[in-house]
Structure 1
């Protein structure tokens, strides 16, 4: 008998007050006033009154519904329905209660797995009334990203397959596959209904050709059969995601009573000392966080095609691993990952504290729910070859003994996966539990940091935020420092305030010895480099969720008079963010002791204050800040790396450089050669093909892992003016007629002559307001003559300003401003890099781009950008503020005031005598004052530069005495 598809029209009654159980809404006489086409959510069907909701924290669902929703459908069953057992299958929903013909038939509370109701006792031939109560409130767990408005929303509905399934009385109840590549076997474990019979097991390829056939005699309900493979099956991996089908046929009394099929792949996924091994070969996990953000629907796709699209995009951008943050995707995601070769790590839907029964605040119901949910996830999705790892939750605290016990129980139940206590547990005092198969975190102690950026409330900050841009770093000294310096910190009674979700919590730290891992280490939630919003994206939101947050941010920018800069802010902040990602990902690849990383994120995160941290938008589309080909230069299976100390160098200098290859591709590379070249151009534009240095280094073989391929001394050109030099790397097969590897990378040096031209004598360099006021009020013999002033205000004089920092803001300013304030800690600087008018004559002797590049590091880190909110000044170099404050911030700006042509730079360039970039910027600014040609008031008003004229009162009001 065929299953009965329940897709289509259902009656619906919304019970926001949750009175339906008491009022017996499941009885046939209760009117259900609405209709809904399932599968769908209530929001998708727009079945509540539209509400004008607006939040800056996340996208908005104007048709959101929370409470009880009652779904009713009349179904007809054939006369012989009692010859079968029946199951109602609900693939994905919230907490449900089932009523059949007015009688309660059970309940399910899984958020991550299907609800499978045995309904045989309640159904009958002919007409049957099915009522499903769906509750999306009162969950036993906080739900993590399964129910969060920050991600897929707390929808109410029924999604995916909705079916009444007829089941033969003698049938296969479960089928679990244990493939082994090293053992060349497939072990099949399962359970059948009690019957005397045998199982026929067939292994088929994609074309349904039978490769292996075997029979197994069943003697009781549980069975186990080991099938030798004898190298007849190809192994599954990210490079060869080949799938097979196991078809099981149960024979009873000589006839086929039941059959089922299960796809699988032959693979071993193991934890070595420092790396994961796939079929014996080391793999480096290039992962992304995923909270199942899908703005058009508000929920994760239930079809494989959509997951193939989004995961295929991720793989195109070099990703081979997904970590699902406090959530578990539906079956379709596992199927897509199986086909694409992506390694998945689902996670329990929990972000909180796990306690023992003796501890205060212990919630036994919650913990048992989570443990049960984990078993359900393992049983439901465990056969997929892509399911390689499992985590107990995000940033957990509490009892290490309880956490370890849960891991032990899961391992005893299913050894096909690797397990971890959670992602970034215990934060400042991490630990490795006996049952941990790997470690996922951000540090091994307060100062032992294994990612490049942190929130201010989690200080110290990372190397991307605090150190000069470089390509010489590695996390190896942090992962395994000199053990002789091991210390024990802090005392078991010490407490600390920590970030806890989007809030704050005080926790007990406990005693922790210095941690030296001997299992693979994954760097948790790396990146989080914020970009300014792309307001042109607003029109893309044509589905359930509306970008009211983006609309609010746009209105704020308009109110600040900065709307004309929106596109420039977006592009320039994005280019800086992409550069920060490059530096961080390459640092990870240079770390021999690191097993992988998990980005947060490849795509924008729509919630938690609106964290626009992706190089792709929330729709997994390129945002236009870095081309995929450029991203793949540092996020791919094989990457060539240049290692040097500084991007800013002196003319004629010799720069030591190492060339490394991070090769985690499908095989060692043989008979290849590395070509590296230098080319120069005297402005900030892209370098041409004017190569002045080139060298080729052959390599007989590059094994898997990290290898040093060559060392070189790079000769910088002799130049009388600053220039930009491109270092281009290309890895190719040696010889002619061989295919292209298409593996390249590129770096930019900023080269400065050691001799800086002298400052013209007629330039007034002023550092305090009093001196500035004096020169503004000083009468000239010629009332029409122009004085030339370079104003370098001291920090005291420039108090109405924002601290300078090079790196773009972490995650998003509003969320971490609130957290820092509630913890009594310093608030983040909150800026997003520079927007530079690179063609302005004041920068003629200082080649640059529209956005922050390393030659600005000394300058920015020793600056305070003036808040110019009360003016119409358009800075030459503008610091980009975040979308909450929207200050007009000037790092370099010019005005005409009281017969003075004034260029202000808020970094004291004269004090940065050790920085060639700072000295050349000083030269360029003073040269502009000298070369501007403005010698009279008449020249000012006729200047093509359209320098803003401001009053003495307005200009001086920007500064303090």
Structure 2
């Protein structure tokens, strides 16, 4: 709950009291205003005794405010700090101010990022064990008799709290904020020593997922590093002995009604006495406040829960496009006096399902999400700053995203707050990185589940909670384990629905396991629950950007970038490598567009979380680095603009019936292309206008438009068919097709590249005698000037061959020219070529300026005009060839397996030329 405004109220109360209180008191006491204010007559100047009066007024005003508002002391900043590797701190009374602490540390933040520990793996500093935080805090005397709690945004992994030498409580968990009642140990009116013993005891993750042992609870928050410390904000809060404890807000959109379930805690010993809860919500348009109230009769020490409803007739609904937030003001009156007041932001919105359709406020929703693995290469842990997340979410929203999945973790409170404001739907998870981490930590996870839902269930951005990641029963060894596992999933699901009935609960993210409200899968999508694509995007990566190495000034050392830097420099590629990196990012974006458009055609899928939003470092349990992010490690876009992102990450997505294999055409021919639309916009598209334009180098070749376009919501609809060609000209060229759909409210656009090649140009003969030993009827049919010479004994200037036999080698060394269309048997160390990189791999191509490809339309890399040339072919390794060999079409790629500890880089050639004797060989 947020409770702001006390300072503002003090200021406004001062103004009110100054101008009104003297008249009231003066009337009651029959005193004049001059007498009341103690004004002395000095000549004709009236001089009030403000030194006495104003402090009294301020004091009275503060008391009026604090009678309802909760008081807080901010404990963020510098604390005394000491590591305790032998766990001797409690016995040695380290919680006492008499024991010296050798250093200080900042809160919030993990201790590794502040230089605690020794180098370990990719961490500059690492320490696993217990450490102590301590500081003295002055507690006001006015807090006497109040309930005083210590509140922390999060610790890793567990903490014991001491106040003035007394142990007052423990917290075992790292997913949520927590609070501990310290009232019995606090001494108001003096300094108090607050100490926290924090432990992150446990191993770091270095093995691949299938080899990890579940020694401690593990999710992505503790996966890259076994972080330790107080990573959330800390404060002490004082409240009256009867207060609003828990609040649950739900909406009924059709009725424009908001329901409040409010739990009241009571530590008063007197009574019984009446209490009254009042809730006020301001309308969106009218500014009018809509209220609800409930009366309670509190017995001594009794806690009670009340439910009430507030109807907001002019309600504005929350959605990713219109993230409108309300503030509920909840007041609790005890014995006729206000004893507590809290505020809670919320959105009026309703998530439901219909078969495999996900509905937001009754409308079909397509989740255009990204994946987040908690990658903080500088600080290690998530920032405890709403402002940081506001900036990040402004960026991701500009790229068209409306959702995020957090792998095996729940984001911090500050992220939820920023997501509420930005309009981003959150799929959170229990800290269960993989199957084996569930059963050994069942009790711990049950508590985390409860805390997560109670802490965050009022956030409109909170879409779903999964019980963990990729529950693969085949990883369990016995049938009894599998039975226990399924029973635990069912138990946790039931508990979650009891705590938060409106929340979508997933059994896990990655496999279909019942019960579940929603599924997140690679394939085989069910018809009865909404399904999003799990870790979508085939893990296409770009090449590691070694220019980022010096920016790693925080907790993580980029050892993987150092290794790649040495390879680049050792291969004489320092000048060319940045171009390969940029071209690999261009290929990565082609892959994103291909993947997303393909997914949007599937009627059984209602979204995806594209994996990942930022690159993933090497040296972890996931092996070497994964440069799969839309952004780099520092949240900088990787060669892609927001406009390019929004075109494919659009609620209304235009698509064409020409796949990645169908982007080349003959200039002389005509081509029909179907146009369809995936409509997850604001509703049905009615009488829209479709416009299309075909251009080449900025010149318009053809264009047209049509009206009367209709498309229902939540469906993929074929809306048109357009024709391309025939095209004039005898030169090959790149074409760009742009299609726009104007709904009257918004215009949606998408674009695709095509390449046109004139047949006439291919039939030209240069006058050279061309012979071929290749057994291919198509070669002579398409190129009539090529003469078949199976025995290689005819006269020729150029030989086309699939193998270099003795006659061919002799012809080559004697000054002939050979085009070798080699098959796999001719060379060793050849690899299968794919246009897109292998899953988890990276590929960057480079086409230098060369006469051989000067008339071939290309922009320095292999765009989709190369798809059919590369897909299913094979490349030639150049790692052992001279460094100065520059292929006509070359590549740098990763060569090792999916979760390899080292994804080695390799040079490859698709087309290259070499001098052999007096002749020239083109492969």
Whether TM-score is above 0.5 comes out as: yes
Do residues 148 (structure 1) and 223 (structure 2) align? yes
Quote the residue 1:267 is aligned against: 349
Structure 2 partner of 1:132: 196
Residue of 685, 691, 709 corresponding to 1:675: 691
The whole-number CA distance in structure 2 between the counterparts of 1:424 and 1:93 is 28
1:545 matched residue in structure 2: 556
Structure 1: runs of 5+ lacking an equivalent: 357-361, 426-430, 445-478, 480-515, 681-686, 781-785, 813-830, 905-961
Matched, 1:417 2:503: yes
1:96 is aligned to 2:168? no
Partners in 2 of 1:349 and 1:602 — Cα distance? 20
Q: Is the 8 A contact 1:869 1:887 kept in 2?
A: no
Equivalence for 1:863:
874
Contact 1:197/1:252 (<8 A) preserved: yes
CA distances 1:410-434 after superposition (whole Å, capped 9, x unpaired): 1122112111111113xxxxx341x
1:597 corresponds to:
608
User: Is contact 1:800-1:867 (8 Å) kept?
Assistant: no
Asked if 1:109 corresponds to 2:125, the answer is: no
Deviations 1:12-40 (A, max 9, x none): 11123444345553344432111123233
Cα 1:748/1:177, change in 2 over 3 Å: same
Summarize the alignment of residues 309-320 of structure 1 with structure 2, pairs less than 5 Å apart.
309-320=391-402
User: In structure 1, the residue corresponding to 2:705 is in which secondary structure?
Assistant: strand
Q: Which residue of 2 aligns with 1:571?
A: 582
What SS does the corresponding residue of 1:248 show, helix, strand or coil? strand
Q: 2:735 aligns with which of 725, 746, 752?
A: 725
**Range with greater deviation from structure 2 (536-545 or 290-299):** 536-545
Is 1:404 matched with 2:490? yes
- The one of 14, 25, 50 equivalent to 2:83 is 14
The separation in 2 between residues aligned to 1:546 and 1:135, in whole angstroms, is: 24
- Aligned residue in 1 for 2:6: none
Q: Structure 2 matches for 1:22-61, cutoff 5 A?
A: 23-48=92-117, 51=119, 60-61=122-123
**Within 1, Cα distance between the matches of 2:319 and 2:879?**
56
Match of 2:658 among 622, 644, 653: 644
1:879 aligns with 2:891: yes
Report the counterpart of residue 663 of structure 1 in structure 2: 679
Contact 2:812–2:920 (CA under 8 A) maintained in structure 1: no
**Could you tell me which residue of structure 2 aligns to residue 744 of structure 1?**
749
What are the within-5 Å matches in structure 2 for residues 170-319 of structure 1? 170-194=242-266, 196-204=274-282, 211-219=289-297, 221-319=303-401
Normalised by the size of structure 1, how large is the TM-score? 0.77
> How is 1:459-478 mapped onto 2 (pairs within 5 angstroms)?
none
2:410 matched residue in structure 1: 328
SS in 2 for 1:83: coil
Aligned equivalents of 2:448, 2:150: Cα separation in 1? 20
Q: 1:561 aligns with which of 550, 569, 572?
A: 572
**Kept after mapping to 2: 8 A contact 1:204/1:247:** no
Distance 2:809 2:400 in 1: 60
Counterpart CA distance in 1 for 2:92 and 2:893 is 55
Task: Describe the superposition over 1:270-290 as per-residue Cα deviations: whole angstroms up to 9, x where unpaired.
Answer: 112232111111110001111
CA RMSD of aligned residues (A): 2.5
* Aligned residue in 1 for 2:703: 694
Cα displacement string for residues 36-82 of structure 1 (whole angstroms, at most 9, x for unaligned residues): 23233323433446x4x6x5xxxx33133322110111223234443
1:614 corresponds to:
629
Given that residues 644 and 655 in structure 1 are in contact (C-alpha distance below 8 angstroms), is that contact kept between their aligned partners in structure 2? no
1:769 positional shift: 4.4
CA distance, structure 1, for counterparts of residue 535 and residue 638 of structure 2? 20
Q: CA deviation at 1:637?
A: 1.8
Structure 1 residue 714, shift from structure 2 partner: 3.0
How many residues are matched?
773
Whether contact under 8 Å (1:286, 1:321) holds in the other structure is yes
Q: How is 1:445-460 mapped onto 2 (pairs within 5 angstroms)?
A: none
Which of these two proteins has the greater Rg computed from alpha carbons?
Answer: 2
1:888 maps onto 2:907 in alignment: yes
Residue 602 of structure 1, CA deviation = 3.0
**Residue deviations 1:76-130 (CA, integer Å, cap 9, x gap):** 3234443111111111212101122222222101211112111112222323222
User: How is 1:905-924 mapped onto 2 (pairs within 5 angstroms)?
Assistant: none
Counterpart contact for 2:107–2:233, Cα < 8 Å: no
Q: Is 1:623 aligned to 2:703, yes or no?
A: no
Asked whether the equivalents of residues 95 and 193 of structure 2 are also in contact (C-alpha less than 8 Å), the reply is no
Q: Does 1:372 align with 2:447?
A: yes
- Mean alpha-carbon deviation: is it higher for 375-384 or for 694-703? 694-703
**Residues 68 and 772 from structure 1, CA distance in 2 versus in 1: closer, same or farther, beyond 3 angstroms?**
farther
Structure 1 residue 238, shift from structure 2 partner: 1.1
Q: Give the match for residue 60 of structure 2.
A: none
- TM-score (normalised: structure 2): 0.80
Q: By how many angstroms is 1:442 displaced?
A: 0.2
Query: Contact conserved, 2:812 with 2:916, CA < 8 A, in 1?
Result: no
Distance in 2 (CA, whole Å) between partners of 1:777 and 1:323 is 59
Task: Give the 3-state SS of the residue equivalent to 1:262 in structure 2.
Answer: strand
Cα distance in 1 for residues equivalent to 2:535 and 2:463: 19
Q: Is residue 152–residue 235 contact of structure 2 (8 Å, CA) maintained in 1? A: yes
The answer to whether the Cα contact below 8 Å between 1:155 and 1:298 also exists between their aligned partners in 2 is yes
**Matching residue of 1:847:** 857
Question: The residue matched to 1:602 in structure 2 has which SS?
Answer: coil
Deviations 1:660-688 (A, max 9, x none): 122222344444311122234xxxxxx32
Inter-CA distance 602–40: structure 2 relative to 1 (3 Å threshold) = closer
User: 1:392, 1:422 within 8 Å by CA — same for their partners in 2?
Assistant: yes
Structure 2: distance between partners of 1:65 and 1:776: 68
Name the SS for the 1:621 alignment partner: coil
Paired residues of 1:287 and 1:597 also in contact (CA < 8 A) = yes
Once the two structures are TM-superposed, the CA of residue 772 in structure 1 deviates from its matched residue by 7.4
1:368 deviation in Å? 1.5
Shift of 1:390: 0.9
